[in-house]
Structure 1
Amino acid sequence: MLDLMQDEVFRAFSTYALVVILKTMIMAPLTAFYRFKRGSFANEEDVAFKSAEERKKLLRPNPDVERVRRCHLNDLENVVPFVLVGLFYALSGPQLSTALLHFRIFAGCRIFHTISYIGAFPQPCRALSFFAGVGATVSMAYHVLSKVFVL
């Protein structure tokens, strides 16, 4: 592992992978924050000490809470493939400048996607950031496949 950390591409990948993983991890406490702020809970046990009437009110979905949850789900659907594909990509010996471009595009797109999703920016802000991030991951996957498959 120590030898890998000497490789500039692998260090860059590790940095950007950790950035997007930590951003994804922040979404769970953010969801909880919105649940408490909006008074919208998902489970009976979360409101067990409230009266029956209060429980009914607190167990209703809230659009803001659902927006944060969907953003978190979208992160999980995109960050996991990025980390896996990015690992193979980093180990495939790409040029540092090209690797940095892929990693930066993906990380920047995910951060902007979260801001535009939670901030309810008008489309196509969110869609463009989503597709650019997916494009970076697909481009890395193509690079890896082109190195391992000889047709």
Structure 2
Amino acid sequence: MVQISPELFQVFGFWSSVLVLKLLAMLPLTVRQRFRKNVFMNEEDTKLGSKGKVAFNDPDVERVRRAHQNDLENILPWFIITYLWLGTGPSLWLAKILIQTFVLARIGHTISYVILPQQPTRAIAFFIGFSITGYQTLSTLLYYS
């Protein structure tokens, strides 16, 4: 069984917790948009707003939902592969840089998707995170093969 050094695990634990908080923050962002636009997913929810309606195509609500979906598609695989990658014994310096950069890229992605929509910032943030996950995946695959 491969041991992960306590220093590596501390870095992973801290920055993973930051990332989970960021992921959890997507819920209030979605709720804020739903109440601001009085757009809900279920009929019984319409009673929460004064003029609420059921709709699945509001562009502002869907923008937040797409950002949240993108997080789920990218962050969950990163958690798994990063944990496995830490078992390959990367240097503390490299692990810190990659983990911090991934987390900050995902935060930047959300900001440039939901709060201050702009390109190419969003694409750059996405590809930074994607590249880190790809590197860790290939490194892990080669190590364990």
Asked if TM exceeds 0.5, the reply is yes
Unaligned 5+ segments in structure 1 are none
Contact (CA 8 Å) 1:44, 1:59: kept in 2 or not?
yes
Aligned to 1:11: 10
Structure 2 Cα separation of the partners of residues 138 and 17 of structure 1: 18
Q: Does 1:118 align with 2:114?
A: yes
Q: Does 1:59 align with 2:54?
A: yes
Query: Quick check: 106-115 or 11-20, which moved more?
Result: 11-20
Q: TM-score, normalised by structure 2?
A: 0.88
Deviation at 1:93, TM superposition (A): 0.9
Structure 2 Cα separation of the partners of residues 8 and 49 of structure 1: 47
Q: Structure 1 vs Structure 2: percent identity of aligned residues?
A: 38
Q: Does 1:130 align with 2:129?
A: no
What does residue range 40-59 of structure 1 map to in structure 2 within 5 Å? 40-48=39-47, 54=51, 58-59=53-54
The size of the alignment, in residue pairs, is: 142
2:100 is aligned with what amino acid? R
Over the aligned positions, Cα root-mean-square deviation in angstroms equals: 2.0
Contact (CA 8 Å) 1:102, 1:137: kept in 2 or not?
no
Query: Quick check: 103-112 or 60-69, which moved more?
Result: 60-69
Kindly name which structure, 1 or 2, has the bigger radius of gyration based on alpha carbons: 1
